Every structure is written in structure tokens, then in C-alpha cells.
């Protein structure tokens, strides 16, 4: 059942939807839940890829904040094949559950899910330009999603291990796909993030610069004093100043690209 919400004179409709994901590249067919939030007159659409904690209340609030800015937003269940309804808290038990399902995700699955979501949005809103934002593991996946030619702009918030790991792959890394990104890609992290050491940031910076020699499409944004998960109010590392800055820069990118 759709839920109507109003904030700052903006009326939005929010509801769970079910998106069919066909079998492809070793990916089994399934139905993927998504939290779909639609403003009255959308100016663009954004895919929201969650942390390992699932499409929980904070992730849904991100989609709703984007809708209040005029963007249709679809928060995807990236664990749709093993735990489609995962919604856990920011504690050790929640982290353990999320990591169990994280390790079952493959790049092929993610790309199939993203294409299904893109097709679903474009069927009803073909004129909307598309963006993507992801947090933590969702940030890592957002870098992969950015290779979808329909996505014009992507924000990867503290997507760790992109220089050393690619879901479901043995030899390749997620960072190796950056040259395939046709749109814009901004990577965000805190300089106190233990999951993203200096060598990881250097690798990301080098990959972005190599793929965008003019420096007009890609960007690495390092937030001083911020740790991992600094955008999320429910996490211990929440950093109000860095979160506000990251949110505003994301909106800047989407306003320019979408």
C-alpha cells in the first residue's frame, strides 16, 4: 500500500515494489524488492544501494530525502537472492548477518539487478536521467553500477576494498572497471576510515585520474576527521559536518548531471 508523505511542501509517494530480475550470466531469475519513493514532478531518478544492513529505515530515509529534493528514488535489496527482506540494526549481530549475505553477492548479480531496476524505472519514466548512490558495501557496488550506460552520475560513499576485491571474481578488482564508466563518478570517504587506508585512497585517486585525464568527470572527496559510515546518523561514526557536506556535494553532482 503506498504511503503519502509531505515535507517542505513536497508530497511524495513511498511504497514497496517488486522487480523481476531475469536469469543472466549465471544469475538465477528472482524478484527483487525495492523501496520506491516518487515526488510529484521528478527531475531525475536515483538508485540507492544499501549497506550490508539491508534496506533498513535509514536507507529508506535516504530515498525519501532524495524525493524531497525532487528525485524519484529506488532503494534496492542487493541481497535479493539470499535475504531479500533483510533489515537489521547497526550492532554486531546485524553486521554478522549482513556480511554473510554480502559474501554471496557477485558482480554479475549486481549488474543484472541494476539493469532490471533501470528498465523498471524507464518503463514508467522514460524521460528521467538516472543516478546512483551507495553506502559501504553499497558504495562498492555503486562503482560497478556506474558502468551501466544509462547511469549518468554515481556517488560511492566509503566503498571499501575496491582496489583489492571484486564480488564473485578471483583475479579482477572492482577498481579495474573505472575506465568503463561513461558517466560521472565521485568517491567519498573519511580520512579516519580504518577500512580505507592510505594505499586504498591512492589507488582510487590514481584510477579516477587515469580514466578522466581532464578532471571533469571523476572526483575523490576525502572528509577530514570522518570515519567509516559517517553519513549515517544511526552509526557510531556519524560525523554531522562531513555528512552535511557529502549530502550537498551529492546533490550538486545530481543537479549538474541529471
Residue 16: which CATH number? 3.40.50.1820
In the chain, which ranges are E strands? 3-7, 10-21, 30-39, 44-49, 71-76, 130-135, 151-157, 184-190, 218-223
Q: What pLDDT was estimated at residue 241?
A: 98
More confident residue, 80 or 64: 64
47 near 130, Cβ under 8 Å?
Answer: yes
Q: Which of the following is catalytic: 101, 189, 193, 232? A: 193
Statement: the pTM of the whole predicted model exceeds 0.85:
yes
- pLDDT-derived band of residue 29, with 50, 70 and 90 as boundaries? confident
The answer to whether residue 189 is catalytic is no
Radius of gyration for the chain, computed over Cα atoms and rounded to the nearest angstrom: 17
Q: Which of the following is catalytic: 101, 140, 218, 228? A: 228
Question: Which of 100-114, 172-186, 201-215 shows the lowest per-residue confidence on average (mean pLDDT)?
Answer: 100-114
Q: What pLDDT was estimated at residue 6?
A: 55
Q: What is the DSSP letter of 181?
A: -
CB atoms within 10 A of CB 169: 13
Residues 147-168 have pLDDT tens digits of: 999 999 999 999 999 999 999 9
Q: Which of the following is catalytic: 136, 155, 187, 232? A: 136
Work out how many domains the chain is built from and give that number: 1
Q: What pLDDT was estimated at residue 38?
A: 98
Instruction: Count CA within 13 A, CB hemisphere, residue 28.
Output: 7
What is the spatial distance between Cα 85 and Cα 255, in angstroms, rounded to a whole number? Answer: 32
Q: What pLDDT was estimated at residue 28?
A: 81
What is the spatial distance between Cα 129 and Cα 52, in angstroms, rounded to a whole number? Answer: 27
Its domain, for residue 220, covers 3-257
The answer to whether residue 136 is catalytic is yes
The answer to whether residue 205 is catalytic is no
Amino acid at each position: 500500500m503506498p504511503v503519502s508523505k509531505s515535507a517542505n511542501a513536497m508530497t511524495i509517494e513511498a511504497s514497496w515494489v517488486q522487480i523481476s530480475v531475469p536469469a543472466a550470466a549465471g544469475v538465477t531469475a528472482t524478484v527483487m524488492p525495492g523501496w520506491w519513493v516518487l515526488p510529484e514532478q521528478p527531475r531525475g531518478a536515483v538508485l540507492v544501494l544499501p549497506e550490508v544492513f539491508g534496506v533498513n529505515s535509514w536507507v529508506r530515509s535516504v530515498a525519501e530525502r532524495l524525493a524531497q529534493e525532487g528525485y524519484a528514488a529506488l532503494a534496492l535489496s542487493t541481497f535479493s537472492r539470499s535475504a531479500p527482506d533483510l533489515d537489521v540494526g547497526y550492532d554486531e549481530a546485524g553486521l554478522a548477518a549482513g556480511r554473510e549475505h554480502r559474501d554471496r553477492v557477485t558482480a554479475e548479480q549486481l549488474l543484472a539487478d541494476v539493469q532490471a531496476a533501470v528498465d523498471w524505472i524507464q518503463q514508467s519514466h522514460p524521460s528521467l536521467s538516472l543516478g546512483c548512490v551507495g553506502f559501504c558495501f553499497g558504495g562498492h557496488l555503486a562503482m560497478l553500477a556506474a558502468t551501466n550506460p544509462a547511469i549518468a552520475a554515481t556517488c560511492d560513499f566509503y566503498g571499501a576494498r575496491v582496489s583489492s576485491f571484486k564480488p564473485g571474481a578471483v583475479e579482477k578488482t572492482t577498481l579495474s572497471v573505472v575506465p568503463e564508466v561513461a558517466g560521472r563518478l565521485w568517491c567519498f570517504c573519511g580520512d579516519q576510515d580504518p577500512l580505507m587506508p592510505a594505499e586504498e585512497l591512492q589507488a582510487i585517486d590514481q584510477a579516477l585520474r587515469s580514466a578522466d585525464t581532464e578532471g571533469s568527470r571523476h572526483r575523490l572527496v576525502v572528509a577530514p576527521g570522518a570515519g567509516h559510515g559517517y553519513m549515517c546518523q544511526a552509526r557510531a561514526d556519524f560525523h554531522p559536518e562531513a555528512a552535511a557536506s557529502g549530502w550537498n556535494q551529492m546533490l550538486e553532482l545530481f543537479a549538474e548531471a541529471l
